[in-house]
Amino acid sequence: MSVLDKIISAKRRRLSIKKLSNTFSDHYIENSPDTKVLKFFETLNSAKGSYKIIAEIKKGSPSAGIIIDDYHPEEIAKKYLEKGFTNLSVLTEEDFFYGSPRHINIIKKMTNTPILQKDFIIDEWQIYHAKTLGVSCVLLISEVLTKAEIKSFIKIAKSLDLDILLEFHEESEMQKILDVDLEYIGINNRNLKTIQTDIDHCLKIKEKYYNELERFKIVAESGFSSKKELERYKTNEIELFLIGESLLKEKL
């Protein structure tokens, strides 16, 4: 069983319990009437600075293990904001990334910065739940969804005024994503099945399928550890990045 299979198996078990109570209100963020949930990609595109980065907040991962022992997501969010990052990604997967939807609750109390909920969505329930958390964007992972599920989940998310980041790693997933009604897609340099990372993977996919991917704005994900790597991507017309571990370890 691959790492991704184990994550999805654990997610199904947890989700079956959560759906029994259907308590969206457990994590509901009550915004004041004049508080606007900012559009995720609109904010990212207007970000100043050399790189447009989605700064990720997480305690750990299957590839890195525990990154931060004394984990306080609100403190990390504050540091990111002080450094000028305009968009956050928050891991909420419990068993392998040590996250929780409550972490979004904590962060939302201190900032209205647009947040991507980073989790493994396999059921429409999770999209409705994401809306109650006050996030601006949800992640869909092509490898764990059918083409029909992808289209259905995109439709639901849009009906809730949520942005969507659809990501993939394997070339075989291309047939699922080429006709989706989205402007943005993510290409993950990390293979979630093996946890192996190739920093050039996204560039290779873009070059090989240039015509097919030309209509999308690409978010390059995972593995970045230097500004030199970011610059190489920028010279290849990719300027949007999702970065976690290197920022958390202050390597970037």
Give the domain 3-23+37-248 fold.
TIM Barrel (3.20.20)
Query: Helix, strand or coil for residue 220?
Result: strand
pLDDT digits (tens, 9 = 90+) for 149-188: 999 999 999 999 999 999 999 999 999 999 999 999 999 9
Kindly list the catalytic residues. Answer: 56, 58, 118, 167, 188, 221-222
104: CB partners within 8 A, 6+ apart: 27, 90, 92, 115, 117, 133, 134, 135
Q: How much of the chain exceeds pLDDT 70, in percent?
A: 93
Whole-number Å distance between alpha carbons of 158 and 164: 8
Q: What is the pLDDT of residue 22?
A: 65
Contacts of 34 (CB under 8 A, 6+ apart): none
Give pLDDT tens digits for 179-235: 999 999 999 999 999 999 999 999 999 999 999 999 999 999 999 999 999 999 999
- Sorted by where each begins, the domain ranges of the chain are 3-23+37-248
Contact 141, 120 (CB under 8 A): yes
Q: At residue 117, what are phi and psi to the nearest 5 degrees?
A: -80, 115
31 — pLDDT class (breaks 50, 70, 90)? very low
